[in-house]
Amino acid sequence: MQVYLDNAATTPLDPEVFEAMKPFMLEDYGNPSSTHAHGRKVRAAIESARKKIAELLHCTPGEIIFTSGGTEADNTIINSSLLTYGIKHVISSPLEHHAVEQTLHNLEKRGAIALSMVNLDAKGHVDLAHLEALLEKNPNSLVSLMHANNEIGNLMDMQRVGELCEKYHAYFHSDTVQTVGHYAHHLGNIKVHGMAAAAHKFHGPKGVGFMFIRKDKKLQPFVYGGGQERSMRGGTENVYGIIGLAKALEIAYRDMDEHMHHIKVLKARMIERLKENIPGVDFHGDSADLDKSLYTVLNVCLPESDENGMVLFNLDLQGISVSGGSACSSGAVTGSHVLGALYPGSKRGAVRFSFSKYNTVEEIDYAVEKLAALYKVEA
């Protein structure tokens, strides 16, 4: 049996999305920057996709800029906001995705910024009182904090952070790669200036995403070229990727309630069965809280065991695709910077299961059975 439970890394392409993309792979091949009929037809399709995304997110089409994915979007917003507004101080957290964390540490190393890390509680939540203290001391900063953590599933109150940023005239960027397509974002209400998304996290194609840049907080370009994307991102557009992105997001919003319910049922079953079958099992962050966490992610904290260093490999041998890590590196597992920050020195193993609309109860039961067998317990 082959079981894919690594949907936070990437999701399978929805067949409806592929059908929407096919004409732009085989028939509508014009360059959207060309002024002839072939080009105009493709340009119209791109703008229609942009309009559809803007409608779903409650923003204007001009605030959606297509990119190669979340990493480019994060890098662009961070670097361009510093350049555009002359920002010299950044506030972030040690739990950010590498697209943010490594970018900021590189900027700090070069002397381009001073970097402050906001305090976290024992479960990895941002200490909002400390965030306000940092902002009070350093107004006009860039604040870069993710909406949902890709490893432990914690959700951040974007609205509250946005209100603090507004109070202290800070530029607020949020990596929303794990939540776009899984939650409804009303950008007319959320006080965020820039955010990132990637199509392959919600059953769209890889290699395409977008950044939202609020129209009253415009940025200078990060990638120059032929003036594409309203001169905000040079380079010929990934046309069929953009078409697929818009279609995937449309499907995600259309079926969001149904898919959320389906995935929560699977996640609840896995939590229950893991507790029943692995003595001492626990869960990292908020991931086991069905109401408070990113519903697509469950990060399992395994008992101390000699099996921990090989658990991902052994599950892979059983046809189960997952990801993981631990607070410490071992010969087989690279330490997670997220778990290392929250649980320094812990010798417990970790497996991240992440779910999609395509997963089944049978797959959940099989995964629990095989994981429990590694710990000498019959499921």
59 is known as an active-site residue: no
- At 31, which helix (H) or strand (E)? none
Residues, the chain: 379
Per-state percent for the chain, helix, strand, coil, to nearest 5: 45, 15, 40
Catalytic residue among 59, 165, 301, 328: 328
Pairing of strands 64-67, 209-213: antiparallel
**Residue 8 phi/psi, 5° resolution?**
-70, -20
Distance separating alpha carbons of residues 236 and 210, to the nearest angstrom: 15
> Token pair for residue 325?
């890590």
Sheet order of strands, 209-213 included = 64-67, 209-213, 194-198, 171-175, 142-144, 89-92, 114-117
Distance separating alpha carbons of residues 24 and 19, to the nearest angstrom: 10
Which residues does residue 65 pair with via DSSP β-bridges, in sequence order?
Answer: 211
Closest CA to 370 of 299, 285, 291, 313: 313
Instruction: Kindly list the catalytic residues.
Output: 328
